[in-house]
Every structure is written in C-alpha cells, then in structure tokens.
Amino acid sequence: MVNDRSLEKLELEIAMMVRRLRHRSPDIDEKQKLQRASYFIMLMLADKGPMGVKDMADRLHLDISTVSRQAGDLLKKEFLKKTPSETDKRSYKYEMTDKGQEVLESNRESREERFRKMIDQWNEGEIEEFARLLKKFNSLIESD
C-alpha cells in the first residue's frame, strides 16, 4: 500500500518537473531546430525503421493530423523521405535520410549536454537508478 505522504511528494515533484521542462522547451526547441513532435518521430524512425503515419501516431499517442503535418515538414526539410508502402500502394512509409540522421544526432547531443549539466553532481549509480525508475514509471503510464 502506498503511503499518502509519499504519493503527495511524488505528485508534487512530477508536476514541478513537467512545469520546468515545459517552461524551458521553447528555448530548447529553438536551439535544436526541431519541434518536440518532430524529434520523437525521428527518434522512433531511427529506432524502429520505416513506418506509416498511422503507426507513428499510434506509437506516439498523437493525432494522425499532427504526425502528418510534422512528417510533411520533415519531408520538406529533407530529413525524411517517403516511399510507397509495399502492402498498400495508396499509403506511404517514412524513413530517415542521411541529413535527418545528422540533425537527429545533433539534437540528441544538445539534449544530452543539457541533461549532463543538470546531473553533473550525480554519480553513475544515481543516474542509472533514476533512468531505471523513469523507465519503469513510463511503462506504467503506457499500460494505463
């Protein structure tokens, strides 16, 4: 059974973290040249390979229109390319280009540097434990 006081602390800390991250997001996105949704689309394509808009939207829990708009923008910037689906010639799959991979790596490095500055007082064990607990928490959110 969860202690009410512990739950209150957790809720407060998560709320504060989300607020602070959202507050900093416009500056971060400006420096990184990718909108948040675009970054997640590119991360997923780099990890999972070519994918259609509906699959991306389902996996990212975004509207199809949002993913379609972001994919179109990434296509114009030549970060993605689209090819006809092998199973349904009416639909397309998007995949990363070399240029897109470079931009993604640059964004990743920028984000990692930001996190590195935030946690530079932590030891390796603390970082790994925090990452483990966040992964566990995120998987619970995913299954809820």
| Per-residue confidence (pLDDT) for residue 6, from 0 to 100 | 87
For residues 12-20, give the mean pLDDT. 88
pLDDT above 80 (res 32): no
pLDDT above 60 (res 31): no
| Per-residue confidence (pLDDT) for residue 71, from 0 to 100 | 95
pLDDT digits (tens, 9 = 90+) for 41-63: 999 999 999 999 999 999 998 99
pLDDT digits (tens, 9 = 90+) for 66-91: 999 999 999 999 999 999 988 887 88
pLDDT above 70 (res 29): no
67/61 Cα distance (integer angstroms): 10
Candidates 80, 88, 27; CA nearest to 49 is 80
What is the sign, positive or negative, of the torsion defined by CA atoms of 66, 71, 74, 75?
Answer: negative
For residues 108-126, give the mean pLDDT. 89
Provide the 8-state DSSP code for 49: -
Candidates 58, 88, 91, 94; CA nearest to 74 is 94
Predicted TM-score (pTM) of the model is 0.74
pLDDT above 60 (res 98): yes
| Per-residue confidence (pLDDT) for residue 26, from 0 to 100 | 53
Region of 51 on the Ramachandran plot (φ > 0 left; ψ -120 to 50 alpha; else beta): beta
